[in-house]
Structure 1
Amino acid sequence: MPIPSQARKTGKTILLVDNLFIVLGFYVVFPLVSTHFVSQIGWSALFVGFALGFRQFVQQGFGLIGGAIADRFGAKPMIITGMLLRAVGFASMALALEPWILLLSCLLSALGGLLFDPPRMGLAIKFTRPHERGQFISLLMIQDNAGAVIGALIGGWLIDYDFQLVCWLGAVVFFSCALFNMIYLPPYHIALGKAPIINGMKMVLQDKKFTSYVWSLTGYYILWVQVMLMLPLTVAKVSGSPSYVKWMYAIQAVISLTLLYPLARWSEKRFRLDQRLKFGLLLMTLGFIIIAFVSELYLLFILIALFYFGAIIAEPARETLSTMLANPKAKGSYMGFSRLGLALGGFIGYTGAGWLYDIAFDIDLPKLPWFVLTAIGIITLLYLQYLFRDKPPIKREIMNKIN
């Protein structure tokens, strides 16, 4: 049954408000995890990278299960439960004086995201028509960047006092988000009908076009997750203080708030989605190879700006492709599976980069992680070129499939 226009408008408003605070709460805490436990506490970058990658892998790698559960039982209970788990995870991180407590807090945070992330993206599909979906996703990403910089600025200010304050604030934000959804989010179902959980999972796994696209993004995410590991560590090292990390996210916010939406609107009329994704990834890769040779803070920030510029070109195209390819009979399952590339890329990116960071320090070769990351970016570009070879314009092809 079609959703009335007013219900769509209300639903999109709820998602926008909810999304802003989810992103803010996350970025208050996680950009500072690596700098706190590696630079301030003295734990190995390999272990901290493993903990971050473990969270990423659990949340995204099992997203198919979370999405299938949401297809069966509805979005609201999954979103509320997930946000409460994320709040508990952040509270336990405030008490992480031993490595196992950090792992536990990352696990709780991951389980929370596993439950609330796929149904939220399923609702984004439910509330938007195909022709407006790309624009709405661009708005969500603008919010992502605004929330990221606000959260990072608050976290960067609080960490000068106590990392525990950072974690407790993140917990309060997610607890408040759970209350907001409990009060305002109607009990929407995101799938067409209530098929058994296994049916939605089978539907995704049999969709070869969708699964091939998802697996292709592993390399892209290996680069992307460095905003939580290598880039903050490099900024802290070059500047001499972890508090400078907040300016990295300020750059991200300025670029996104001023350029993301108009650039997405302009490019979607002129280029295929896969072309936008590949060009954005190319700029991200170029930024990384040059960072290897930079030791001045202002030059580092310029290259980080280049990385983010590539990201705002690639991200709307990547997410729009995922939503356009999703079968409406199992939106949650599709959105859950779409995170598998992030699961693998995040785990490899965090753990592998942390391992390379430690090795580079031991052998006095600081450029090593950046060389490897650049090679991964180039390989991913070549694979995406192969995947979309001799294809008609992706946007037109998907629209025909939907209609």
Structure 2
Amino acid sequence: MTANGTRAKPFARRWSLLIRFRGLPGLARLLLLTQLAFNIGFYLVVPFLATHLAEDLAMAGWAIGIVLGVRTFSQQGMFALGGALADRFGIRPTVLAGCALRVLGFAVLASAGDFPTVLGGTVLIGFAAALFSPAVESALAAQGTELERRGIITRTELFGLFAVCGEIGAVTGPLLGAALLGVDFGLTCSVAAAVFVLILLAHARMLPHGTREERRPLLAGWARIARNRTFLVFAAAYSAYLLSYNQLYLALPVELGRVDAAHALGWMFALASVLVVFGQLPLAAWARSRLGAARALPLGFGLLSLAFAAVACWAPWPPLPGLFALLPAALFVSLLSLGQMLAVPVAQDLVPRLADGQDLGSHFGFLSSAGGVAVLIGSGAAGGLLDLAAHPGPLAALPWLALAALPALSGLTLLALARRLPARPR
């Protein structure tokens, strides 16, 4: 029931959200399609960058490592700055600047033939995402608040649809990139740049101009975050999600190597994508309507923890026969994906509440940067431990149990935190 006693219109028809995509306002559709196109353009190039540097440019391993590390830091580590710039100058100019920088970065990479030029193009690509993503997420949060008020879709479900669009782009991009890579890496970069030119033109036409009063001093958002202890605890606990999900790239290959099934890695990523594309919307709707943040967040992080614990049960023993050898890896991917699908849209929906609706770019950026720091620190430690899991043995379960403990502790922290949150404002 609404405040005036009338029955609220149902948000649902949960399974029809994709079908009803065209019924969303133009700006909401633009933001969702932006995530789709953004990931297509990104995954056209970045998964094949190391191969290009090694095979086409004959770069040494240390140089390739520096390029990839700098790309990650210039993107994930600079999200907090990008979010602050969005709050200071407005969403529209920040998004347009991010698109322009990414076009320039891909153009530089298309013709780069030496280490400094490649590094420069990589920094441009990474920092472009740091400008672009927090601004788009804050715009999506504002749209979600308005659409939820009008009874069209909840903000949690809108973030779920955002994740689905991103996953479709993450699947489509590498397929196109693999096809183009056989022709020329420069052509791949040119196509990616063209994708971002289209994004730039669409946003230049459709993104509204913000008012001067909406723009905040550059450090205002950071000052608010520093005073918001609840949000700082939330960001620290939530960062375990990104560290856990990053183990698809670090721990999953170790498990597949243990059972001599490295060839199945592509199928495992396909499984994760299928689960997200078909399960994200109904699971987000169920979490929003039936569970609420106080239960959905710890349950999601519990599933993340259970994913590692499941592999720990099998790691000390010899592989199962035949296709059953892939069972621990499949359980790991499935539980990790389900935990992500349950926790992430609910957590993103909480950010505007924790931020009291102000300086959303800074808050979303800080959240991403906190996850980036966790990955930077935690992946090094995890990589050392995972050497123990490369072969069956008494200590093979230890790395998986250590990785299981992190989301479990975070889930308990988020459980205590969510219970103290004020009710969602009407």
TM-score normalised to the size of structure 2? 0.75
Structure 2 counterpart of 1:152, from 174, 194, 199: 174
For 1:29, the equivalent position in structure 2 comes to: 45
- CA shift, 1:398, in A, is 4.5
**What's the C-alpha RMSD, in Å, of the aligned pairs?**
3.8
- CA shift, 1:79, in A, is 0.7
The one-letter code of the counterpart of 1:322 is: V
TM-score normalised to the size of structure 1? 0.79
- CA shift, 1:42, in A, is 8.8
- Residues 46-90 of structure 1: per-residue CA shift (max 9 Å, x gap): 875665454333333332332222222221121111122223333
- CA shift, 1:320, in A, is 1.8
For 2:19, the equivalent position in structure 1 comes to: none
Q: Does 1:75 align with 2:94?
A: no
Q: Which is worse superposed, 344-353 or 367-376?
A: 367-376
Map 1:189-338 → 2, pairs under 5 A: 193-228=214-249, 231=252, 247-288=267-308, 290=311, 293=315, 298-299=326-327, 300-301=329-330, 303-338=332-367
Shift of the 263–373 alpha-carbon distance from structure 1 to 2, 3 Å rule, reads: same
For 1:133, the equivalent position in structure 2 comes to: 155
Between the aligned partners of 2:124 and 2:157, the Cα distance in structure 1 is 32
Q: Which is worse superposed, 141-150 or 318-327?
A: 318-327
The one-letter code of the counterpart of 1:20 is: L
Shift of the 255–100 alpha-carbon distance from structure 1 to 2, 3 Å rule, reads: same
The one-letter code of the counterpart of 1:201 is: W
The one-letter code of the counterpart of 1:155 is: G
Residue 77 of structure 2 contacts residue 372 of structure 2 at CA under 8 Å; is this kept in 1?
yes
Secondary structure of 1:217's aligned partner: helix
- Residues 134-183 of structure 1: per-residue CA shift (max 9 Å, x gap): 11111111111111111132234444555554444333322321222123
Structure 2 counterpart of 1:109, from 100, 125, 139: 125
- Residues 280-299 of structure 1: per-residue CA shift (max 9 Å, x gap): 33333443452884696854
Between the aligned partners of 2:125 and 2:296, the Cα distance in structure 1 is 32
Secondary structure of 1:197's aligned partner: coil
- CA shift, 1:330, in A, is 1.7
- Residues 316-370 of structure 1: per-residue CA shift (max 9 Å, x gap): 12222223322323222222222222221232355556x549x94xx99468999
Gaps of 5+ in 2: 1-23, 149-153
Between the aligned partners of 2:335 and 2:64, the Cα distance in structure 1 is 27
- CA shift, 1:311, in A, is 1.8
Residue 78 of structure 1 contacts residue 115 of structure 1 at CA under 8 Å; is this kept in 2?
yes
Shift of the 302–200 alpha-carbon distance from structure 1 to 2, 3 Å rule, reads: closer
Shift of the 390–127 alpha-carbon distance from structure 1 to 2, 3 Å rule, reads: closer
Identity within the alignment, %:
26
Residue 192 of structure 1 contacts residue 328 of structure 1 at CA under 8 Å; is this kept in 2?
no
Gaps of 5+ in 1: 1-7
- CA shift, 1:259, in A, is 1.3
